[in-house]
Amino acid sequence: MKCVTCRGPAVIDIRRQNANYCVEHFLEQCRRQVAKAIEQWDMIGPTDRVLVAVSGGKDSLAIWDLLVDLGYRVDGLYVGLGIGDYSDTSAVHATQFASARGLELITIDLPTTYGYDIPTGARAARRAPCSACGLSKRHLFDTAALEGGYDVLVTGHNLDDEAAVLFGNTLHWHTEYLGRQLPVLPARDGFPKKVKPLVRLTERETAAYCLLRGIDYLVDECPMAAGNRHLSYKEALNDIEVRSPGAKHSFYFGFLDRASSLFTPEADEDRTELRACALCGSPTTADTCAFCRLVERAGGHRPEPVPVHLGSTRRGSTT
Ligand code: Q46
Ligand code: ZN
Ligand code: ZN
């Protein structure tokens, strides 16, 4: 197996590109794909202050590393979800990554600051754990980006994630979500600009990137993910990809090129109804936002929701 660029010994094959790469040229190709996504969708300006949501897993640490390598000013944001050992270990990986590189990491601990953790909060609120978790994270990421004055919020969604979400939304014809499933959402209506610069890389590639860069990420999956529909969509797409390399890529990028704009009017309709949450001021269609309602039903409490910069890599909460 030879590297497509230098003909030296290859360490990885990328079947959808029908190409093999050595270490150096694989890392270069990862950087190139991220740079291409950023340029193609005008994700990040050269002087932007960037906040990346970090879980301690391969994708978020890979994108943090790649963005720093590409010369962007990027701080990290870690949210402790209170999911037992999983959260404790993920915090260690995020913190160690940041401190080893002298990067700034903001941390928010959900149980300490908001008085609930995902497993018990979800049960009390009668929501699926991933639904309560996704809602909490989205709110805390958005708020931290806005309060911290960041120009753009980055998440580590990769091609597998986006293709699986698209698959689920298409399977059930959630057309209102299809209109919003873009790699860039501009800042508007009280939401920060949100971007996904990893959409051109698969999770196998982000794992390989971390391995080759010596990034010590949390390998364990979240214990609450078991039975999650998103995972079964990923598995289904992986089966298709084995037989038809490149299928995931053409499914997702074909959607962006040819179909996504058809659903934009429906997504825009939802936005016309937005007003400020009576409790926290976040944009919502009701009197109070879904996050504030979740906090209440989960038996938590609302603090002053302003994340605090704690200096380089120190941990703490917003209280
Ligand atoms: S952390 Fe949260 Fe994921 Fe765990 S509870 Fe579900 S959404 S699986 S990315
Ligand atoms: Zn090479
Ligand atoms: Zn609210």
Question: Each residue of 150-178: pLDDT tens digit?
Answer: 999 999 999 999 999 999 999 999 998 99
Identify which of 133, 136, 137 to mutate to test ligand 1's pocket (most ligand atoms within 8 A of the CB): 133
Q: Whose CA is nearest to atom 8 of ligand 1?
A: 225
Terminal-residue alpha carbon distance, the chain: 54
Distance 20 CA to ligand 2 centre (A): 9
- Angle between helical axes of 159-171 and 247-258 (0-180°, round to 10): 70
Q: Which ligand is nearest to the CA of 24?
A: 2
Residues with CB under 6 A from ligand 1: 118, 129-130, 133-134, 222, 224-225
For residue 25, report the distance from its CA to the centre of ligand 1, in Å. 33
Contact 200, 250 (CB under 8 A): no
Rounded to whole angstroms, the Cα distance separating 276 from 280 reads: 8
Residue spans of the chain under pLDDT 70:
270-271, 304-319
Q: Are 78 and 113 in contact (CB under 8 A)?
A: no
CA distance 160 to 200: 9
Q: Which of 120, 224, 228, 232 to mutate to test the pocket of ligand 1 (most atoms within 8 A of CB)?
A: 224
**Distance separating alpha carbons of residues 7 and 181, to the nearest angstrom:** 39
63 alpha carbon – ligand 2 mean position (Å):
22
Nearest CA to ligand 1 atom 1: 222
Ligand 2 centroid to residue 116 C-alpha, Å: 49
Residue of minimum CA distance from atom 5 in ligand 1? 130
pLDDT of residue 266: 79
DSSP for 203-254, written as a single string? HHHHHHHHHHHT-----SPPGGGTT-HHHHHHHHHHHHHHHSTTHHHHHHHH
Please list, in sequence order, all residues whose beta carbon lies within 8 angstroms of the beta carbon of residue 145, skipping any fewer than 6 positions away: 51, 77, 152, 153, 192
pLDDT at 312: 42
Q: What's the CA gap between 290 and 293, in Å, rounded? A: 5
- What pLDDT, on a 0 to 100 scale, did the predictor assign at position 304? 59
CA of 72 to the centre of ligand 2 (A): 26
DSSP-derived pairing of the beta strands 49-54 and 152-154 = parallel
CA dist 59 and 197 (Å) reads 11
Tell me the CA–centroid distance for residue 25 and ligand 3, in Å.
46
At 117 the three-state DSSP class reads coil
Q: How many CB atoms lie within 10 A of CB 73?
A: 15
Q: Which atom of ligand 1 is nearest to the CA of 222?
A: 4
pTM: 0.93
Q: Where are the alpha helices (DSSP H) in the chain?
A: 23-40, 58-69, 84-101, 110-114, 118-125, 129-147, 159-171, 175-178, 203-213, 229-243, 247-258, 264-271, 290-297
- For the CA of 221, the closest atom of ligand 1 is 8
Cβ–Cβ < 8 Å for 115, 319: no
Amino acid 270: pLDDT: 66
For ligand 2, the distance from its centroid to the CA atom of residue 64, given in whole angstroms, is: 24
| Residue length of the chain | 319
